[in-house]
């Protein structure tokens, strides 16, 4: 099975469509790591598109919970709060119900991999430090744990001989062989709002049979996405950060 791994789409339909086009014919099923909405101007369109993809596995993110009214926005900054409120006011009843129905992670994908939004020990935790990554690796139930939330593509590896970290380093593709006896914690990056300084949409492909993970970037019509943010009346900073990849 070949999985297309999507995370942190954040209502950016232009970025999602670019990823789907770039990955066409390269996957069998879709996996979504949460945060379909929040920040971006097309929440209903993104949810409709994701539902049409019929993901084999999908979990909720923190913005999905707040935008659907499951949780309040305490802990969000002012811009995130405004975007969540805007989103909640525009979701169709059907799409709000869909967000409410999304399960929390972690969730087993298959015998090889599991998925979570933040961390296997807390769906809202951010994994930036090596200490948090080590904790997640030790608590994960599968050889591969796929996570999102940080919007930063990264691979943490743990084996009997050591622990190391891999990043894309500005490349368009990073291939990671999944070696026996090694555990992996992998973030494919954000489709809709990258924060690693690269504005291109990020995604991953997990090939179960060939036992490898690849991280990719895809160009998308950035200016068109920015214009939609402004027209929607969302904070201009959300349009600006798309170009900065921050």
In SS3 terms, 170-198 reads as CCCEEEEECCCCCEEEEECCCCCCCCCCC
pLDDT digit string, tens, across residues 9-21: 999 999 999 999 9
Please count the other Cβ atoms lying within 10 Å of the Cβ belonging to residue 19: 24
pLDDT digits (tens, 9 = 90+) for 95-152: 999 999 999 999 999 999 999 999 999 999 999 999 999 999 999 999 999 999 999 9
- Helix 78-90 crosses helix 236-244 at what angle (to 10 degrees)? 110
Q: In this model, does residue 169 exceed pLDDT 70? A: no
Residue 173 banded pLDDT, cuts 50, 70, 90: confident
Those residues whose C-beta lies under 8 Å from the C-beta of residue 64, and which sit 6 or more positions away, are 34, 35, 36, 37, 38, 99, 102
How many CB atoms sit inside 10 A of residue 8's CB?
A: 31
Answer for the pair 239, 229: CB distance below 8 angstroms, yes or no. yes
CATH level 2 (architecture), domain 2-244? 4-Layer Sandwich (3.60)
Mean pLDDT over residues 52-67, rounded?
A: 98
Whether 58 and 50 have beta carbons less than 8 Å apart is answered as: yes
Q: Is pLDDT above 80 for 196?
A: yes
CA distance 164 to 81: 36
Smallest Cα–Cα separation from 178: which of 170, 190, 187, 186?
186
Q: Please report, for the chain, the start and end positions of each structural domain, with discontinuous segments joined by +.
A: 2-244
pLDDT in tens, 151-166: 999 999 999 989 999 8
């Amino acid at each position: 099975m070949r999985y297309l791994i999507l995370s942190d789409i954040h209502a950016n339909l232009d970025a999602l469509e670019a990823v789907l086009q770039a990955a066409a014919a390269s996957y069998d099923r879709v996996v979504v790591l949460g945060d379909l909405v929040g920040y971006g101007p097309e929440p209903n369109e993104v949810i409709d598109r994701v539902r049409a993809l019929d993901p084999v596995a999908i979990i909720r993110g923190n913005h999905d919970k707040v935008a659907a009214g499951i949780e309040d926005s305490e802990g969000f900054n002012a811009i995130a709060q405004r975007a969540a409120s805007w989103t909640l006011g525009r979701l169709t009843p059907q799409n709000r119900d869909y967000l409410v129905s999304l399960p929390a992670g972690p969730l087993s994908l298959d015998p090889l991999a599991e998925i979570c939004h933040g961390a296997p020990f807390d769906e809202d935790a951010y994994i930036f430090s090596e200490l948090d990554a080590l904790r997640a690796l030790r608590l994960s139930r599968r050889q591969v744990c796929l996570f999102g939330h940080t919007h930063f593509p990264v691979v943490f590896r743990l084996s009997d001989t050591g622990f190391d970290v891999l990043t894309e380093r500005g490349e368009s593709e990073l291939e990671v062989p999944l070696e026996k006896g090694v555990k992996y914690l992998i973030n494919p990056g954000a489709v809709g709002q990258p924060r690693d300084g690269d504005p291109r949409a990020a995604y991953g492909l997990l090939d179960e049979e060939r036992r490898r993970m690849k991280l990719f970037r895809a160009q998308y019509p950035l200016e068109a996405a920015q214009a939609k943010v402004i027209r929607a009346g969302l904070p201009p900073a959300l349009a600006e950060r798309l170009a900065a990849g921050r």
